[in-house]
Chains A and B, each alone.
Chain A
Amino acid sequence: MTPRELDHYADVQLLPGKAAIAKLVVLLAVLAVLPFVVPGYRIFTLNYMAVFVIVGLGLSILVGDTGQVSLGHAGFMAIGAYTSVLAMTELGAPFLIALPAAGLVSAFFGFLLGLPALRLDGPYLAIATLGFGLAVTLIIGHGSFFGGHMGLVVPDAYLGPIPLSGDISHYFLIVGIAVVLALAARNLSVTRVGRAFRAIRDSPIAAETMGVDVAYYKTLSFTVSAAFAGIAGSLLALMNGFISPGVFSVTLSLMFLAMVVFGGLGSIAGAVLGSLVMGYVNLRMDAVQEIPIFGPMLQNFSDAYMSPSGLPNVGWVLTGSMIMLTIMFEPRGLYGVWLRIEDGVRWLRRRGASDGPAAGTG
């Protein structure tokens, strides 16, 4: 036994040591100046990416930690978006109430879907959640209360006296919430509930045997995951100014699932990375022709061989190939790629150190 005193808190601490605090401060500083240095019309893109991050964090809890699958997260997002808009228009609720209400109502639907999900696994669960997502958009599309296919206009929102209008105010709200939720998700994963989620994924039998109520935690996982998507939906409504069932298509659900797998299942950094990339790609899908050199080539190729409208298809093919190649060569996804880069840097540094005068190693 080492005489060194172990600090058990350091193992689970959110920001262990000065280096971690410094990293967070730098990150926050970058996020704070970012909207003032990028072109104005790009702030909308950043907001969109941050909304994806919030969905990704929640979906990663369900898929990465608990090991369940969902092809219906666009449905939860829709529930959140419509809840917050209707709360504002029908009940006159301020945005500060409408936003958590979106999370709560979506969480409730997550809980409801979590119940039948207890008896389902793998492909059956995939189909059930897919059906849920479809049903949500169908119901919304046919109810005049929900504005039908025409959708709803989002009313002006205020945070107390501050008007939430314009991309920059949306940016600080959405990115702020994304950062807080990322830190919360990280804490959740290292404490009792997160451990129970992963135990269920690794061995439900052993988890039960340790006293973990598997049904409770599986449902909880669905509930939490849906709450994140609901909050993201409310924020998406705010930044878009308009919502319609078409926004929350099955394709979007597929995209969500793809992005957490692509980012790296079961890691928060992976969920964030994957969501950022896919959020960007999803929004800029039709801007393929802007890629230097390859853009026009791809556009011609698509026009000639893939469809008359062309562009979105070639975007999808690119996205699909990107995901496929990453997962084939690095099953841990983007996060795995990141880890490799870190390893490489460390290796280079060590070589540098051993070439130079004898350096103490820790």
Chain B
Amino acid sequence: MSDAPASTRAGLETRSLTVRYGGLVANSDVSITVRPGEVVGLIGPNGAGKTTFVDAVTGFTQCEGEILLNGTPIQELPPHERRASGLSRTWQSGELFGNLSVAENLLVAARKGGWRTLARDLFGRRKADAGRDLVENALAVVGLEGVTDTLARDLTLGQQKLVGVARALAGGSEVLLLDEPAAGLDSMESQAFASRVRAIAQGGENGAGDGDGPGILLIDHDMSLVLSVCDVVNVLEFGKHIFSGTPAEARTDPTVVAAYLGAPVEATHV
């Protein structure tokens, strides 16, 4: 292990992560690193194992191999403790709390229950609109306004995905795993979303852009989005990690082109 200071902001690292569903190997020896401030792409056709990778890293499915967050192994932790140590995610299908308002969705992530919370709820003093700032900030980061008090299930799919991102950011995040967050956005919204992703990674939440933002793993089908926004791109195929490199390398790499892009093009929708 390296010394402590270097590893405190080492981000997420998986080593030979392998997931089996019965006979199917959904992830085989996947080693991916996401450093703070970096946007890492993960692409691959449907069923390649992208969601499985996120599920394994965040503790929603059994896996073999090692998962390190800032140098500390976390694969034995239950999902909520992984979240507490700074690993957050969104879900491909949104998975908002449909019967709660957008603000409450974010507050769930920011203010957790427990015995101490219970005691404070019952007997402590309470501020009128605690957490309101946090909600407004998180929504501003993803570019959503005027929906604070809407029920989550009444949002459009695109808005739900954005609230999902805001929820993953609320309460602090070291590494953010985004599972197809842009599906459901039109191409204009997609472009806007891409620049927001960059801004978030650069710590743009506070407008500082000083590079202390979270590392982001971005899964998407939109090749132009991924190639334009990511520092590093990883490709999965049938659970195998067939490529890792810069977008420029990806565009010309024969395996990627053959397996996924079909033709060496600037941008295609796959």
- Interaction A to B: no
